[in-house]
Amino acid sequence: MLTKRIIPCIDVDLDDDGEPAVYTGVNFEDLKHTGDPVEMAKRYNEAGADEFVFLDITASAEGRATMLDTVSRVADEVFIPLTVGGGIRTREDIKETLRAGADKVSINTAALRNPDLIGEGARAFGSQCIVISVDARRRYDEGGEHYVEVDGESCWFECTVKGGREGTGTDVVEWAAEAESRGAGELFVNSIDADGTKDGYDIPLTKAVCDEVSTPVIASSGCGGPEDMYEVFTEANADAGLAASIFHFDEYTIRDVKEYLDERDVPVRL
């Protein structure tokens, strides 16, 4: 049986002095300075994380390149798979990000605007390198394709771009299936509604995607503790659980989470 992966994530932006810094927010807003990306990467590598995710959260919105110098310094500190996202628009961007030390690239905005990029990346570098990220938000209108019941109401999930700043009208579940068919090796599902709340993952969203695809799914946004990881693994069948705040602020360690899951017969790498 494949083990479930526990993945810490850092959201990186430029501070007032133009230096890379880690930020944490709620619903993709109200960002607060949290720490240094290189130091945090080193800490999580030593703490037993299965993988590590580095997201440049404003590169796409600001139309700038990913912080490859910082990516390279982070890669020097981690000896687990490193996924880097933000500002990746072309096959050349993928190449340069992998060359900087990433094992995988996470693509959102550019893939929605140019779906052919998924296949181009998969053919050039292998599908295992191509992670399609989805920043999803709930909508309760008639614009979707795939509906689920949430608290007695019918809703669908919309893909957004530019760090959640713009809606696209694209149904998340339909897009996940298309991304898989085009060669994506993994899907990274973020919930804007749950982000930073610590109220648990968006189970209806994650389950809808997991039920639709066979590609591994990383659940993201809303984790408040080990019990939320357990829920998303057992109720939504996610392959990995990503968290930020609970690890950044030392509320739980990676080992705390893994021991909790192991005691409840969820397969993890101890």
Active site residues: 11, 135
**Residue 17 CB-density burial (10 A; 0-12 exposed, 13-18 middle, 19+ buried):** exposed
Residues 6+ apart with CB under 8 A from 46: none
Q: Please compute, for residue 31, the number of CA atoms within 13 A of its CA located in the half-sphere on the CB side.
A: 15
CA angle 152/202/80 to nearest 5° reads 165
Contact 53, 9 (CB under 8 A): yes
Kindly report the backbone phi and psi dihedral angles of residue 264, in degrees, each rounded to the nearest multiple of 5, phi listed first.
Answer: -110, 20
DSSP 262: H
